[in-house]
Amino acid sequence: MAPKDNPMGGSAGGSDSRFFSTSKKGEMHELRMELHSTDRTVKVDAVKKVIASMTVGKDVSSLFTDVLNCAQTANIELKKLVYLYLINYAKSQPELTLLAVNTFVKDANDPNPLIRALAVRTMGCIRVDRITEYLCEPLGRALRDEDPYVRKTAAVCTAKLYDIAPELVKERGFIETLHDLISDSNPSVVANGVAALSEISETSGRDVMKITASVLQKLLAALNECTEWGQVFILDSLAKYTPADAREAEGIIERVTPRLQHANSAVVMSAVKVILSYMDIMSGAAHQDSIRALTRKLAPPLVTLLNSEPEIQYVALRNINLIVQKRPGILENEIKVFFCKYNDPIYVKMEKLEIIIKLVSEKNIDQVLLELKEYATEVDVDFVRKSVSAIGRCAVKLERAAERCIGVLLELIQTKVNYVVQESVIVIKDIFRRYPNRYESIIATLCDNLDTLDEPQAKASMIWIIGEYAERIDNADELLDAFLETFEEEDPAVQLQLLTATVKCFLKNPEETQDMVQRVLDLATEESDNPDLRDRGFIYWRLLSTDPEAAKLVVLGDKPVIEDDTFRLEPNLLNLLVGQIATLSSIYHKPPEAFVVRNKKGATGADDIVGDDEEGDEEEYEDENDVNRGGGDDLLDMGGLSMNDNAAAANNYGSSRLEADMFGAAASAAEPEARMSKVCAPEKSGGIELWAGFRQVSGAVKLELDVRNISSQVPVSTLAVQLNKNSFGLSPATQQIVFNPPIPAGGSGKNSVELVVNPAMLVQAPAGQPASPQIQVAIKNMTTGLVFYFAVNFAFEALFSPDGALERSSFIESWKSIDDKKELYGTVSDLPPASTDIDNVAAKFKAHHIFLIARRPVPNAEGQEVAYFSMRTTTGMVFMAELTFKNGVNAAKVCLKTEQIAYGVQAKVALETLLRS
């Protein structure tokens, strides 16, 4: 006897895990036979096997027509499975998907409301442009269907259709129909109508919700009757509504307040968001009693959230962090609930500490200090550090409690636990900066623990204390001298503090520290590669040698005291984030646009740039793509270059230029000009004014120099050039520039230096950070002996190679293979008219070896066109870009993809700069 239909689409018995068994030879043929079986049970099992194969990543698209034929059934379970398959393969088989249209249209008129809703929902999920025109009629009927389940499904489908074809939704009047659904008798339909309108508002950037007085009352009425997630949609819409006056705000809050007792934490947080938003409107003196009453009502539900699972606790704590910054009074008497439990996960403990610091006051500081002192004896090092840091922050926040906080820190220092002592030193430095000349009596205790300091930040803090209070420490010079023994191995932060502290010590006690300051200045200016340290060393040296009194004013001058940063979010950002409570923004503490990029359908789909034949010849390009991606470990692909032989590198450039000429790539029109910028003023470089820029000439990177002799009586004849280590590994092929004839006073001359890639000059970008565009240059006037320095941003397009054009199929494969996290987005506005025409842009880009791969109009977006470009550097890095233009708009959207994400910012800046030029 056949099993009965299960209306929920589940299996009638047994486990579906058997469908995920290992595949066997001839399985496709066997599945095809089963799909054509007359036995309904066999057919259902066959479709389940297909879905299982699809789920684990197997390609079962060859069974498309066989699975589609199974849709001709009244069995809801089978129909759901077939529709799931269609949704998955619709994009890769758009032509075949059209064969299912008749089935969808027929099912949309089925007597069973479940099937009608299923058909409309599936058509909405199939994001194929050609399906949308067939969706409109069934969707229009579904929005007015007699069954509320169909209507609420159609409401969500309308939002999906708007994402694909916004103009179609407007033309058919679906937005007006959604407004009508807000007046529906069924609360679930109202909630879905609100959700759809909210989604459309976010997608379009326009307020299509338009809450009027009558709509407001309908939303409030539906709030009590719809499902919990429906309540969330309605509450989120209410949070965006601005009441006419305080009286209306109070009335809405009264209707929303019962939601604070809801079991679902999302409903609670959305209700809190509405109440906090409206409390700002009730700011007058007449409403102070109401504000106080609401403050008391908000505390219990927030406290209750801390009894949930750790994940929900964390989300609640991140939101509470914002709430206590906005209105500290809500939880000022509830600090105990934020004390850490022994079994709290570390991420919950860390967040609780942040809130404890925000809620600490003179009334509860003793209780908090006891708790923090206990935390400082825990086993988790990060938690202990955070706890010690919290004690210091309490001292900075509460002046009257600072002495008690220092007492606790001294007790912790006596434990001699390495990381406790180091964190204590760091926070005591901040206390000294907050309260100068008040607690210096503890310096001796700190000096007794110098041997335990081995972390850069702790060392730097202790060195700052020694330098700042050198006159109160008898052996300050000896203590600093001990650090100087390992100066060259220290972290840059420690080196900088050592340099400053030694100069302070010298200014306070010049007789005994002269040799020491000379040694430090020598180390900083002659032995160090760190430009910050070197520059500071030169500044101190010149100050001390020219005007010691001025040096005292600069180095020993009074510094402003540091401020309490407990409530460190800007008021405008805080108000924005409070309006985003119960969303990801409130967890990240960032506005949505900082981490969400909305993509229109067709705006960034590299799949569509070639047309219907994109899937062909994939294997032909597989090896080529592997080669392109093979340089992942060596970002600049410089493994074959000699580390010390710039001449050899120059020869490599020469051979690449020869190859380019053989293929006709470099023998094109005039070379692009360098973008010159003033880098040296005459008063800093012996009367010489210097302009610099970068460009590529016949495949070689050139540093272009424009030298103007403003006031030097000695003609400029020979300059020597040296580059500091940089993100591009560039160094001069030859170091001397000769001007023939020499440049007299009032004259000018131009010259260039060829730059080659030298791995020894490469500075890797820090993990997760973009490569620095800055190149630091030193130039010596060989006639006068004067050396002057400047920094200039590198024009990244000067590195683009003539062989940067990718094949279309290769472009598609590479685009698909790059993770979305390695995408960069931007909008370039105020473009000149020539930069809004793709033909002009392509010609301009080509001169810089940026090649047009394809262009196409954006579907359902009249006047919009997308162009795809590729570029490759001479060091092997590949970049792909998508530019979107719209007729009549002097702006363009830029999307750039690359595996070398550290250099992606520079490539994007190069494109934007060329567009604006």
Residue at a domain's end among 512, 532, 558: 558
CATH of the domain at 873: 3.30.310.10
Indicate whether 620 pLDDT > 60: no
Please tell me whether residues 30 and 166 are part of one structural domain.
yes
CA angle, 775 as apex, 701 and 758 as ends, to 5°? 55
How far apart CA 482 and CA 484 sit, in angstroms, is 5
Matching residue, tokens 């450039």: 653
Please tell me whether residues 764 and 905 are part of one structural domain.
no
pLDDT score of 850: 92
pLDDT score of 592: 85
Indicate whether 105 pLDDT > 60: yes
pLDDT score of 645: 39
- Are 156 and 196 within 8 A, CB to CB? yes
Region 369-380 average pLDDT: 91
Indicate whether 389 pLDDT > 90: yes
Residue at a domain's end among 273, 289, 308: 273
pLDDT band at 867 (very low <50, low <70, confident <90, very high): very high
Q: Could you tell me the residue range of the domain that residue 535 belongs to? A: 459-558
Region 38-59 average pLDDT: 84
Indicate whether 610 pLDDT > 80: no
What type of residue sits at position 456? P
Region 447-458 average pLDDT: 84
How far apart CA 334 and CA 323 sit, in angstroms, is 13
pLDDT band at 70 (very low <50, low <70, confident <90, very high): confident
**Alpha-helix residue ranges (DSSP H) falling in 765-834:** 808-817
- Are 897 and 822 within 8 A, CB to CB? yes
Half-sphere exposure of 621 (CA within 13 A, CB side): 17
pLDDT band at 394 (very low <50, low <70, confident <90, very high): very high
Q: What is the pLDDT of residues 283-312, one digit of tens each?
A: 767 778 888 888 888 989 999 988 889 999
Indicate whether 351 pLDDT > 90: yes
Please tell me whether residues 100 and 123 are part of one structural domain.
yes
pLDDT band at 19 (very low <50, low <70, confident <90, very high): low
Region 536-556 average pLDDT: 87
Region 163-179 average pLDDT: 86
pLDDT score of 301: 92
pLDDT score of 26: 62
Indicate whether 41 pLDDT > 80: yes
Residue at a domain's end among 794, 821, 855: 794
Please tell me whether residues 112 and 254 are part of one structural domain.
yes
Please tell me whether residues 753 and 895 are part of one structural domain.
no
Indicate whether 666 pLDDT > 70: no
Please tell me whether residues 765 and 843 are part of one structural domain.
no
Indicate whether 622 pLDDT > 60: no
Q: What is the pLDDT of residues 575-589, one digit of tens each?
A: 889 888 988 989 998
- 8-12, 255-259, 271-275, 684-688: the lowest-pLDDT one: 8-12
pLDDT band at 597 (very low <50, low <70, confident <90, very high): low
Please tell me whether residues 655 and 703 are part of one structural domain.
yes
Distances (CA, A) of 433 to 396, 411, 421, 468: 9, 21, 19, 10
Query: Most confidently modeled of 362-376, 662-676, 753-767, 828-842?
Result: 362-376
pLDDT band at 91 (very low <50, low <70, confident <90, very high): confident
What type of residue sits at position 416? K
Task: Express the helix, strand and coil content of the chain in percent, nearest 5 each.
Answer: 55, 10, 30
pLDDT score of 163: 84
Please tell me whether residues 852 and 879 are part of one structural domain.
yes
pLDDT score of 20: 54
Please tell me whether residues 757 and 823 are part of one structural domain.
no
Indicate whether 314 pLDDT > 60: yes
pLDDT score of 164: 82
Joined tokens for residue 614? 């994109």
pLDDT band at 17 (very low <50, low <70, confident <90, very high): low
Q: What is the pLDDT of residues 409-437, one digit of tens each?
A: 999 999 888 889 989 999 998 998 888 88
The number of folded domains in the chain is: 4
Note whether residue 437 is domain-resident: no
Which of 213, 201, 263 is closest to 237 using CA atoms?
A: 201
CATH of the domain at 138: 1.25.10.10
Note whether residue 95 is domain-resident: yes
Matching residue, tokens 């007359």: 38
CATH of the domain at 781: 2.60.40.1150
Please tell me whether residues 833 and 780 are part of one structural domain.
no
Q: What's the predicted TM-score (pTM) here? A: 0.61
Note whether residue 606 is domain-resident: no
pLDDT score of 310: 92
Region 141-148 average pLDDT: 90
Please tell me whether residues 776 and 816 are part of one structural domain.
no
Round the average pLDDT of the chain to a whole number and report it.
82
Note whether residue 726 is domain-resident: yes
Please tell me whether residues 750 and 785 are part of one structural domain.
yes
pLDDT band at 665 (very low <50, low <70, confident <90, very high): very low
Distances (CA, A) of 732 to 39, 140, 678, 725: 79, 69, 20, 12
Joined tokens for residue 177? 């129909």
How far apart CA 900 and CA 495 sit, in angstroms, is 32
